[in-house]
Amino acid sequence: MNDHSSRTNGDSSADGAGPQQTFAATAFWRALPAGMRRRWWMFRPLDLIARHWPVFKKPRGVLVVRMDGIGDMVLFRRALDHYAEIFGVEKSEITVLGCESWEKLSAEVFDGYRVLAIDEHAFARRPFYRFRVSLWVRGLAPAVAVCDSYMRRALMADSLVWVSAAPRTVVSLPFVSERTRSEFGYYLSQVDEIIDTGPYPTHEIIRHFNFISALSGNTVKPETPSIQWRDQVPPTVDGEAYAVLNPGSNEPGRRWPLAGYAGLARRLLGLGLKVVFVGRPGEWSDGHETEGLAQEEGVIDLTGKTDLPGLLDLLNHARLVISNDTGPAHLSIALATPTVVIVGGGHFGSFVPYPAQASPANARFVFQEMECYHCFWRCHRRANKFQLFPCIGALTEDRVWHDCEILLGADVSEVPGSLAIEAPGEAVGEQAGHERPLT
């Protein structure tokens, strides 16, 4: 491993790749680096011990570090299938180091690969848990360690690549802020190759395929997100046609108003579809906007009552899924279920909407573009962090329903007792809102 500097590779085969850059650091600076947060210093002694822990087996295989959420995992999944050929290994020799949040999906979604999951939150906060994980990763003795996440945290993803002490390390150029510049500089100066996958806001799907294009030396075209999953009909719906509504989000301001979801639910009930609400407990039934809805015939409240595999079963067999921009939306799209996603502008185009070359016909993205897009969810128009983001609040129920009609138009007439809908004369899979090409 290069202990002095690393070169950024802007391969011409990867669309949007930038010029070559060099990340250099002197031995003195790495001994006493400036600009580090207290947490980095707290972790440093044990991280150093783990990295230099003696391992006597021959380095073998590829370690792929994926310290990200469910949606990010879905966007990455198809690019992974090119790694075996690129690195000249069998699938079984590729270890995906992922998060506990999606561990229960790994047996089917990552069939043929080895998946190891950690509690990413504990790794970022608890020194002794972090030390155990770091020793474990060091003991894997990979020949190659890889991380191609753009929106990542140096103290998680980059430190895991570093602590593996793999003979070859390859990472993508991350999004770097002034706050994280020193931490990224420390780790990036010690990897062998850094691949620039494109400027912000290049979409994550495009980034993943730019990354493998640069590695392979050939252009690999972006592929539509897709995952394999079991064919198990959820028992709670008794084989009847239904729609799934997911009104929750980790960020309160990104939750489209419950009144809108309630209105959509009643429209779907009017078409003869059952309506299943999913998410965390209390995410939809505690507000006056949904008062009485839970008692209506055909409404099934499964909030807080499904595990992750059970949620995928529900998404997999639904006639329609309506969701905020969260992990379940990406899962639903990858399962080829008709899906309407309500989109804000915090980092518009980086994760949603999908780029035209990788957006499937079963996905619709509803948004209202504003001049304040790309605020990274630091909205100056909100009085507090619990207020709705204006770009989310600008979307009306009729606007979202329009896209639901398009996706339902092909098959809702098959629902017993339902009303047929004629889809408007526009191509399914186009984005709602202001159309413009995405990087």
Q: CA–CA separation, 401 vs 395, rounded Å?
A: 10
pLDDT recorded at residue 399:
97
> What is the per-residue pLDDT across 137-169, written as a single tens digit (0 to 9) for each?
999 999 999 999 999 999 999 999 999 999 999
The yes/no answer on whether domain 5-216 falls in CATH 1.20.120.1750 is no
Q: Phi and psi at residue 143, in whole multiples of 5°? A: -80, -30
pLDDT recorded at residue 295:
81
pTM metric for this prediction: 0.89
Pseudo-torsion of CA 371, 261, 322, 235, nearest 10°?
160
Token pair, residue 61, equals: 């295989």
Q: CA–CA separation, 367 vs 396, rounded Å?
A: 10
Query: Comparing C-alpha atoms, which of 143, 131, 164, 136 is closest to residue 65?
Result: 164
Residue 20 CB neighbours (<10 A): 12
Q: CA–CA separation, 376 vs 151, rounded Å?
A: 11
pLDDT tier at 383 (50, 70, 90 boundaries)?
A: confident
> What is the per-residue pLDDT across 170-188, written as a single tens digit (0 to 9) for each?
999 999 999 999 999 999 9
> What is the per-residue pLDDT across 240-257, written as a single tens digit (0 to 9) for each?
999 999 999 888 889 999
| Average pLDDT estimate for 7-25 | 55
The yes/no answer on whether domain 235-414 falls in CATH 3.40.50.2000 is yes
What is the location of CATH 3.40.50.2000 in the chain? 5-216, 235-414
Pseudo-torsion of CA 186, 188, 192, 195, nearest 10°?
180
In angstroms, the Cα distances linking 352 to 108, 159, 262, 356 are 25, 28, 24, 11
Token pair, residue 280, equals: 């965390």
Q: CA–CA separation, 175 vs 379, rounded Å?
A: 19
pLDDT tier at 420 (50, 70, 90 boundaries)?
A: very low
Q: Nearest 5°: CA angle at 99, between 97 and 104?
A: 105
Length of the chain counted residue by residue? 439
